[in-house]
Amino acid sequence: MTELETCIREFSLDPGTVPKSVAIIMDGNGRWAKQRGLVRIFGHEQGAEAVDIVAETASRVGVTFLTLYAFSTENWQRPKREVSTLWKLLVRDLERRGPKCLKNGIRLRSIGRRDRMPEVAVRELDKVERATAHCDRMTLCLALDYGGTWDILQVAERARELFCSAKLPAGPLSPELLSTLLGSGIVPPVDLLIRTGGESRTSNFLPWQLNYAELMFLPMLWPEFGAKELLECFVEYSRRKRSFGRIADEEDSEVETANATLRERAHR
């Protein structure tokens, strides 16, 4: 039995309580390296290994869609040398991730802008997406050059173009139609958002899909996050009651009992 299998067995999660759509903001790679007297790039390399562990763990316990915030539209503001190195690391990561995804039945997809990505990164991304298109155990979605503001602006622009070309009838937009226009439309509503690194914000990530997500902000840095930590988050998620604005079942019963009592008193 592997270390991962032992870990999963120890937690013995009820499959029915595992979040199906999970999103993660992988924060803290640079700080992890700095704490150890290393240059930031070593933190990003270690963070890639954490992705391997988390993706495999998630696919093994029943997550069907895992979205990772890999590069935001704001990350272009970092030093040019670091940005260039990050894209080179992505290409190298994709080269080795393809076989791993195939082995574990994981489909790789992506959201975000491609017009600003290095051509070699686009080619490798396309290659892995095509190679894993038939995999159906879990979808691993990389958010690359992605930002929620950009995502919403794209919806507005597409809706305007369709309306001007008479391909979109006049009238109110439905949530279902808007979802088809989103650049991130392949991402289902998120059940659980996890952010490492100690910050407590969503940082322009998936504003449409996070409407009713459970949020967990953790102090640990991303390279320190592994199978055990992910499963602990799932246990915490299983304890939360998600009513989506409705009254929970037991509360609903209590309210109905109280209303029945009031009606009975009114007829006396």
Whether residue 19 contacts residue 234, with contact meaning beta carbons closer than 8 Å, is answered with yes
- The answer to whether the beta carbons of residues 54 and 98 sit under 8 Å apart is no
Q: Which of 52, 75, 104, 204 is catalytic?
A: 75
Give the active site residue among 27, 145, 151, 191: 27
Alpha carbons within 13 angstroms on the beta-carbon side of residue 226 total 9
Pair of tokens at residue 165: 């070309």
CA 229/CA 233 separation, integer angstroms: 6
Q: Cβ(49)–Cβ(223) under 8 Å?
A: yes
User: Is 29 known to be catalytic?
Assistant: no
How many CA atoms does the CB half-sphere of 59 hold within 13 Å?
A: 23
Name the residue type at position 61.
V
Residue with tokens 């055990």: 228
Count of all residues that appear for the chain in the document: 268
191 is a catalytic site residue: no
Residue positions annotated with a catalytic role: 27, 75
